Amino acid sequence: MSDVMDALSVLVDNGLTDDALDAALDDLLEGYNFEDDDDLRDCIALKWSRDQGDKTGPGDISVGCGDNVVCIGGADYRVLDDDEADDAIDEHLEQLLDEPEMVPGADSPHFDREQWKNDASIDGRGHFLGSYDGEENELSIGSSDDYKWYYLYRIS
C-alpha cells in the first residue's frame, strides 16, 4: 500500500468517518503534490469508487497490480491521464494490426492503417481499454482553475 493510503488507513482505523474520508480525498486531490505516481492513482481510484457509492476504504487497495493499475475492492482499474489513454489506445490498435489474423487485409500494401485506427476507435477508448465492461470512467482532479482529467478503465 502507498504511503498516502497507509496514512489514510491509520485515520480510518482511529475513527475517521466516511464523510471525513471523502473530504480528505477531495483535499488531497485538489492541492496535494504527489511525489509518487502510485499514490496519486490510488487516491483517484478510491475517490472514484466512493463517488460511485462503494464504501471502499484505503485498506481495500492492493499493491503490486501492475503499471498504472489499481486493484480496489475486487476490481482492477487502469488509471490514465488523457495523453496516456491516447497512447494506450494507439498501442493497442497497432498490436492488433501487427497480428494478421486479427485484422484481415492489414498486411496489404494498400491498407490504410491510420484510417483503420480512426474507424476502429469510433466507439471510444473504453471499448478497447476497458476490457471488463468497455467503459471509460472519468474523474477531474485539482482546483476549478487548474484541473486535470483522469480516466479509469476496468480490466477485471
Summarize pLDDT for 125-140 with one digit per residue, the tens: 999 999 999 999 999 9
* Overall number of domains in the chain: 1
* Cα–Cα distance for residue pair 94/83, rounded to 1 Å: 16
> How does pLDDT run across 54-65, given as a tens digit for each residue?
989 999 998 778
Residue range 107-122: mean pLDDT, rounded: 92
Domain that includes residue 46, residue range = 3-154
Q: What is the model's pLDDT at position 50?
A: 94
Mean pLDDT of 111-131: 94
pLDDT score for 1: 60
Grid coordinates of 137: 470512467
Q: What is the pTM of this model?
A: 0.89
Distance between CA atoms of 80 and 41, rounded to whole angstroms?
8
